[in-house]
Amino acid sequence: MTQTARGWGFVAPALLWTFAFFILPLIVMGAMSLATLDGRTLVWGLSLANYAELAEKAYLWRAILVSLEITLTVTIVSVLLAYPLAWIIAFRVPKRWQRLTLLLAILPFWTSYVVRSYAWLLVLAREGVVNQTLLNLGLIAEPLTLANTRFATITGFVHFFVMLLTLTIYANLIQLSPNYRRAAMDLGASAFQTFRHVILPLTLPGIVTGAFLTFVLCIGDYVTPQILGGNTELTVPQVIMVQLGRRADFPLASALAIVLMGIVTLAYLACARWLRLDRI
Amino acid sequence: MNRLPSFLLCSAALFLATSPATAQQELNALVWCDHTDPALIEPFEAAHNVKVNLREYEGTGAALALLEQSRPGDWDVLVIDGIDVFRAVEGGILAPLPEDALPIADFFPEVVMAENNTVDGVTYAVTEKFGYNTISYNADKVDPADMQDLATVWSETYQGRISIYDYYLPLIGLAAISAGIPTAEIGADDLDAIGEVLSTMRGRAASVAGVVAAQTALATGEVDIVVGGGEWLTAVLAEDQPELTWTIPDQGAVRWAQSIGIVQGTSQPDLALEFIKYITSPEGQARLATSSCFWGMPANAKAGEILTDAQKAVLRWDEQPGYLARTQLYPAPDTDLDIEMQDLWLNTLQQ
């Protein structure tokens, strides 16, 4: 057996798996998005009617806009919270405690995603912990409306994604040699200048990788906005579910899914330069 | 040489030991969550030595798509929204049902719904449970008199204290009733007027919620009113929180009904029929009515002989004649009108 044949033999299972469970479903979804429904009968074809609906129906456009606004907010807030946390774990926590600290940081991962979302709903309720604390401290006179809002959706997402980003940024930070910081200090850089011109550029791949994963997972998530958002506004995955539930409009749902993939692809292209999946 | 007989004996013993389990009949049913209560299913399994495999679904479209992709014989029984029986019949999914084998004569006459369950003179399903999409509320927090008029339910008084049940057909039905349009007569021309009511309702609401979220919101005090709620929403909470109750306003409300039928192509039609006979029997009906997932009125009036007084009080058994007279079945649109209704609903949510 030649070296090349052996090489193909090793990668063949992975290729077959990718083809069967990614490429093939993607082709089917693409073809489905070009089909139409005649009553309840699926008519295969090359129609762009479903994509035209995206342009015609305001609620579909609004869903795309809502998804993007929520996803970008979650990504930015999560990065801003996760970076200092990862920094503290990497450089301020003694080495022997770092593993335990990371374990504590990811502890919420151990509970069910759905249960965690419902827990947030109770925490943010009018009679929940947050409102009761603010009322008891005299900071508010009436309970705030926190649950069933975009704020609740973003809070639920940020709680989850800060953990993910902390891990990716931490993995990046601990690979940095302390000599970079020492050299910058020796050359007269202040702590801020060292961070701005040395540390930040070197940790950018970790940040972008985590941010990209956050973006992808957040924009495609159905559970959190459904439970915490109270349907006060709809994201794309929620609209996809509505299309499937009663009418089984798989063509329109597929077109929406393709649009979602298009947005993710654009996000990938925007940050491809810094993406380093080996830093995860 | 002695090893081979020993091996064969062991294999035979193993086969005999396992064969009763594999020989047990299995019935596959596509159902709503109320059928998954063991208290409902176990008596049938024990009586017929059968394992009932239940699969829940959400939305008729999803169920029909699943059935169309299945092989004949994969499914035996289907529970379906009463207004969607015709869709399943059109798709060749339901088999004719021998109605003389079922206790339809004992049903509340208003819920037999032959116009829904019968197509071209052939019965394909029977109603098994019904209830109301109306107004659930916390009697300690709102004035019960206000709940008797739909206009005051979503008035400024209750701004931000309302949750709307997240299903467009009953909500459009309630909005139509509020606008004086009978649910059976809703047409495309009525959608503007209905849309105005929905917008007002939506403007007053703190959330638009599914079953669990609506129950949670009402139970935790997040909201005081659930528009589109009913006994199915508050009955399971009644024991711990008797202040959570429901009413049918003076204008009326929307009635829901679920039907059950045999899937076309089942390899065991007799067992499937036995299952439907059990579900529609007084005993099965009483258990289905008080399922741990959600409560609802049994279609068979004789279930009243089995339900306890406390259970009947929660179901408002004695008030059913009045309720049935004042409620309308929720809209059953054709495909085009359904698309327009769904668009109207989604536009309202995105306002």
- Look up tokens 């491809």; give the residue: A272
| Chain A with chain B: Cβ pairs closer than 8 A | 94
User: What is the separation, in whole angstroms, between the first and last Cα of chain B?
Assistant: 82
Which of A50, A223, A242, A246 to mutate to probe the B interface, most B CBs <10 Å? A246
Neighbours of A99 (CB within 10 A): 11
Q: Is A157 in CB contact (< 8 Å) with chain B?
A: no
Range of the domain at A131: 57-279
Instruction: Tell if the CB–CB gap between A244 and B59 is shorter than 8 Å.
Output: yes
**Which of B64, B220, B350 comes nearest A59 by C-beta?**
B350
**Average pLDDT of the segment spanning B189-217:** 93
- A121 and chain B: CB distance < 8 Å anywhere? yes
pLDDT at A280 over 90: no
Q: Is A41 helix (H, G, I), strand (E, B) or coil?
A: strand
Give the mean pLDDT of chain A: 91
Put simply, whether A127 touches B (Cβ < 8 Å) is: yes
Residue in A57, A127, A244 nearest the CB of B221: A127
Which helix (H) or strand (E) segment holds residue B122: the answer is strand B122-123
Q: Do B65 and A230 touch (CB under 8 A)?
A: no
- Contact: B220, A127; criterion CB under 8 Å: yes
In the chain, the amino acid numbered B210 is G
Q: Which residue of B has its CA nearest to A66?
A: B350
CB of A65 within 8 A of CB of A148?
A: no
Q: What is the pLDDT of residue B17?
A: 46
Partner B contacted by A40 (CB < 8 A): yes
Pick the CATH number of B131-255+328-349 from 3.60.10.10, 3.75.10.10, 3.40.190.10, 3.10.180.10: 3.40.190.10
Q: Are B162 and B204 in contact (CB under 8 A)?
A: yes
CB B77 within 8 A of CB B32: no
Residues in A closer than 8 angstroms to B216, CB to CB, are 118, 121-122
- Per-residue confidence (pLDDT) for residue B14, from 0 to 100: 47
Interface test with A, best of B346, B347, B351 (most A CBs within 10 A): B346
Report pLDDT for B21. 44
Q: How far apart are CA A240 and CA A261, in angstroms?
A: 13
Q: How far apart are CA B345 and CA A147, in angstroms?
A: 22
A232 to B208: CB separation less than 8 angstroms, yes or no: yes
Substitution target from A60, A66, A247, A254 for chain B, most B beta carbons within 10 A: A247
CB contact under 8 A, A122 and B207: no
Encoded tokens for A206 = 């970790």
Residues found in chain B: 351
Whole-angstrom distance, CA of residue B148 vs CA of residue B225: 12
Interface test with B, best of A69, A148, A238 (most B CBs within 10 A): A148
**B62 closest CB neighbour out of A59, A148, A248:** A248
More confident residue, B111 or B58: B111
Contact criterion met (CB < 8 Å) for B221 and A63: no
CATH topology assigned to domain B24-130+257-315: D-Maltodextrin-Binding Protein; domain 2 (3.40.190)
Pick from A57, A227, A250: CB nearest B213: A227
Which letter does DSSP use for residue B71 in this model?
Answer: P
- Coil/strand/helix, residue A38: strand
Q: What CATH number is attached to the domain comprising A275? A: 1.10.3720.10
- Of B249, B245, B267, B262, which is closest to residue B313 (Cα–Cα)? B245
Contact criterion met (CB below 8 Å) for A194 and A181: yes
Q: What is the mean predicted confidence (pLDDT) over B213-240?
A: 90
Model confidence at A113: pLDDT above 90: no
* Residues of chain B found within 8 Å of residue A39, distances taken between Cβ atoms: 335
Q: What is the mean pLDDT of chain B?
A: 91
**Chain B: residue whose CA lies nearest to A235:** B350
Q: Contact B338/A247, CB-based, under 8 Å?
A: yes
DSSP-H helix ranges across chain B: 3-23, 38-48, 60-68, 85-90, 114-117, 150-153, 168-178, 191-204, 211-219, 231-234, 269-280, 282-289, 309-315, 320-326, 335-349
Which amino acid is present at A250? F
Q: What mean pLDDT is predicted for residues B63-70?
A: 89
Considering only the beta carbons, identify the residue of B61, B209, B342 that sits closest to A230: B209
- Cβ-defined contact of B64 to A226 (cutoff 8 Å): no
Q: What are phi and psi of B137, to 5 degrees?
A: -155, 165
Distance CA A43, CA A28 (A): 14
Spatial contact of B262 and B92, defined as CB atoms under 8 Å apart: no
CA distances from B252 to A53, B173, B323, B325 (A): 36, 10, 8, 9
Place of tokens 């709940």: B147
Encoded tokens for B75: 């499914």
Between A33 and A2, the higher pLDDT residue: A33
Least confident of A120-129, A132-141, B99-108, B336-345: A120-129
Residue A29 in any domain: the answer is no
B342 and A247: CB-CB below 8 Å? yes
Determine the pLDDT at residue A272: 81
Q: Which residues of B touch A231 (CB under 8 A)?
A: 166, 207-209, 349
Nearest to B301 by CA among B318, B322, B325, B314: B318
pLDDT for B300-317, tens place per residue? 999 999 999 999 998 999
Structure tokens at B47: 């009586």
The amino acid present at A93, given as its one-letter code, is V
Bridge partners of B258? Answer: B81, B129
Task: Please state the domain count of chain A.
Answer: 1
B221 vs A contacts (CB less than 8 Å): 125-127
The alpha-carbon gap from A247 to the nearest alpha carbon of chain B, in Å, equals: 5
Q: Is the pLDDT of residue B196 over 60?
A: yes
Strand partners, B119: B122
The amino acid occupying position B64 is L
Distance (Å, whole) CA B243 – CA B94: 42
Residue B208 pLDDT grade (very low, low, confident, very high; cuts 50, 70, 90): very high
> What confidence tens digit (pLDDT) does each residue in B118-170 have?
999 999 999 999 999 999 999 999 999 999 999 999 999 999 999 999 999 99
Shortest distance between the Cα of B214 and any Cα of chain A, in A, equals 9
B165 contact residues in A (CB cutoff 8 A): none
Q: What is the pLDDT of residue B23?
A: 55
Complex-level ipTM? 0.82
Beta-carbon contacts of A133 under 8 Å, excluding residues fewer than 6 positions away, are none
> Is 90 exceeded by the pLDDT of residue A178?
no
Structure confidence at residue B3 (pLDDT):
46
pLDDT tens for B41-61 read 999 999 999 999 999 998 898
Inform me whether the pLDDT recorded for B16 exceeds 60.
no
Does A57 contact B216 at a Cβ distance shorter than 8 Å? no
The answer for A113, left when phi > 0, alpha when psi is -120 to 50, beta otherwise, is: alpha
How far apart CA A127 and CA B324 sit, in angstroms, is: 37
Q: What is the amino acid identity at position A79?
A: V
A185-190 mean pLDDT: 92
Q: Given a cut of 90, is residue B220 above it in pLDDT?
A: no
User: Are B295 and B231 within 8 A, CB to CB?
Assistant: yes
**From A126, A232, A244, residue closest to B61, measured CB to CB:** A244
Strands B244-247 and B50-56: unpaired
End-to-end CA distance of chain A: 35
User: What span, in angstroms and rounded, lies between the C-alpha atoms of A200 and B96?
Assistant: 71
Instruction: For residue B259, give the 3-state DSSP assignment.
Output: strand
Give chain A's length: 280
Checking if the pLDDT of A61 tops 80, the result is yes
pLDDT band per the 50, 70, 90 thresholds, residue B239: confident
Distance between CA atoms of residues B25 and B39, nearest Å: 20
Residue of A nearest to B166 (CA): A231
Chain B contacts in chain A segment 198-257 (CB below 8 A): 226-227, 230-234, 239, 242, 244-250
Q: B205 is written with which tokens? A: 């609401």
Residue B244 near residue B238 (C-beta atoms within 8 A)? yes
Q: Could you tell me the two tokens for B268?
A: 């065991």
Task: Answer whether B161's CB lies under 8 Å from B222's CB.
Answer: no
Residue-range domain boundaries for chain B: 24-130+257-315, 131-255+328-349
Number of neighbours of residue A184 by Cβ within 10 angstroms:
18
